[in-house]
A and B are shown apart, each in its own frame.
Chain A
Amino acid sequence: EVQLVESGGGLVQPGGSLRLSCAASGFISTDHYMDWVRQAPGKGLEWVGRSRNKTKSYTTEYAASVKGRFTISRGDLQNSLYLQMNSLKAEDTAMYYCARVHAANWYFDLWGPGTLVTVSS
């Protein structure tokens, strides 16, 4: 089955760090651009960042709100995507989704169910 499943969310104190994982199955994730999108409780969707595919050397792009604090990386053997989050703030509290970018049409065609990150003391 083609799917994405996120993990690693939880409660963390302000200033702390957390690493999220996204496990892909049923397709080769290294062939695709893969992104992270978040949604604060009761709010809209916010793009976090992107990892381009293997052909593009997994280069990255980030939203201004997370640049310098968050890092997206890949794990080839595990067909996984990661989001390392440092210097976390209360406003980073959100459901974090990983999403696959359609190879030909460039939209988010596959999403995981999300993992919840809560930043609070």
Chain B
Amino acid sequence: DIQVTQSPSSLSASLGDRVTITCRASQGIIKNLVWFQQKPGKAPEPLIYTASTLRSGVPSRFSGSVSGTDFTLTINSLQPEDFATYYCQQYHGYPLTFGRGTRLEIK
């Protein structure tokens, strides 16, 4: 199975801050990784797919990058609506696997 190790598990930040969340895949997955945002009581919503492609309608303060098996989600200039839990997920091979999530909280 392809493991996806996400860090940190939680993060405190202030409005206007820049934050980064990382996921490391246990083997090469090319760019087959998506980032989701999930708010309490809601289904996840995709933000970035193929590691770095911003989904239509998602604010440009969100960006994704990849270096080898290391994937990064960056959020610039945090807004109130960005405080949520973020998950990465690889769709390169079965079983599909998710990172354990990063809870982004207001400092």
- A interface residues with partner B (beta carbon < 8 Å): 35, 44-47, 50, 61, 63-64, 97, 102, 105-109, 111-114
- Nearest residue, chain A, Cβ from B42: A113
B98 contacts partner chain A, Cβ-Cβ < 8 Å = yes
- Nearest residue, chain A, Cβ from B91: A106
Establish whether residues B100 and A44, one from each chain, have CB atoms under 8 Å apart when the complex forms.
Answer: yes
Q: Which 4 A-B pairs have the closest CB atoms?
A: A111-B43, A107-B34, A47-B96, A107-B49
B79 contacts partner chain A, Cβ-Cβ < 8 Å = no
Given A44-B100, A44-B101, A47-B97, residue A109 in contact with residue B46 (CB < 8 A): yes
Instruction: Count residues on chain B whose CB falls below 8 Å from chain A CBs.
Output: 24
Establish whether residues B49 and A47, one from each chain, have CB atoms under 8 Å apart when the complex forms.
Answer: no
B80 contacts partner chain A, Cβ-Cβ < 8 Å = no
Residues of chain B with a CB closer than 8 A to A105's CB: 49-50, 53
B8 contacts partner chain A, Cβ-Cβ < 8 Å = no
Residues of chain A with a CB closer than 8 A to B97's CB: 47
Shortest C-beta distance, B55 to chain A (Å), equals 8
Given A106-B91, A107-B34, A108-B34, residue A45 in contact with residue B49 (CB < 8 A): no
Residues of chain B with a CB closer than 8 A to A113's CB: 42-43
Residues B63-107 near A (CB distance < 8 A): 87, 89, 91, 94-101
Partner of A97 from the list B43, B91, B98 (CB cut-off 8 Å) is: B43
Establish whether residues B34 and A47, one from each chain, have CB atoms under 8 Å apart when the complex forms.
Answer: no
Establish whether residues A44 and B49, one from each chain, have CB atoms under 8 Å apart when the complex forms.
Answer: no
Residues of chain A with a CB closer than 8 A to B59's CB: none
* In the bound complex, CA of A64 to CA of B97 (Å): 12
* In the bound complex, CA of A111 to CA of B97 (Å): 17
B26 contacts partner chain A, Cβ-Cβ < 8 Å = no
Establish whether residues A44 and B98, one from each chain, have CB atoms under 8 Å apart when the complex forms.
Answer: yes
Chain B CB within 10 Å — which of A44, A107, A109, A113 has the most?
A107
